[in-house]
Amino acid sequence: MALGALAITALIVLLTGSPASAQNDGLNLITDNPDEGYALAVTLARRGVSTTQPDREVLFSLREEYATDAELLIASSQVIAIHFATIAEANDHWR
């Protein structure tokens, strides 16, 4: 894995098209249902990318390498899964 942690989270940019806005819009972990929780997990992962590497040119220049690396694709899913697990716990698993 040549690119490390930045590439793991930067893959979210590939999947979603652009880095998330660094603007704070009052996010919290409470959502109405699991679908909203998953969407929030993706948003948090994207914001991690933007915070870690705010230079869009650098982010997009790395796409070619991480877009074809299965380990990095899996790692990006793990980042989202960790966020989703945290959100699910905060929502008492929507019970």
Residue of 84, 21, 77, 89 whose CA lies nearest to 49: 21
Instruction: Give a yes or no: residue 90 inside a domain.
Output: yes
pLDDT of the residue at 92: 94
- Report the sign of the C-alpha dihedral through residues 34, 19, 28, 75, in that order: positive
Q: What is the pLDDT of residue 33?
A: 96
Predicted confidence at residue 25, as pLDDT, reads: 60
Q: What is the mean pLDDT of residues 76-90?
A: 95
Number of domains in the chain: 1
In-domain check, residue 74? yes
For residue 2, pLDDT over 60 is answered with no
pLDDT of residue 63: 79
Please indicate, yes or no, if residue 24 is contained in any of the structural domains. Answer: no
Residue 53 resides in a domain = yes
User: Residue 78: what pLDDT?
Assistant: 95
**pLDDT of the residue at 4:** 52
Cα→Cα distances 61→3, 37, 66, 70, Å: 12, 30, 10, 18
pLDDT in tens, 12-70: 545 544 444 434 566 689 999 999 999 999 999 988 888 988 899 998 888 788 889 99
The two three-digit tokens of residue 92, written as one number: 């008492």
- Domain membership of residue 25 (yes or no) is no
Q: Residue 81 is part of which domain span?
A: 4-19+30-94
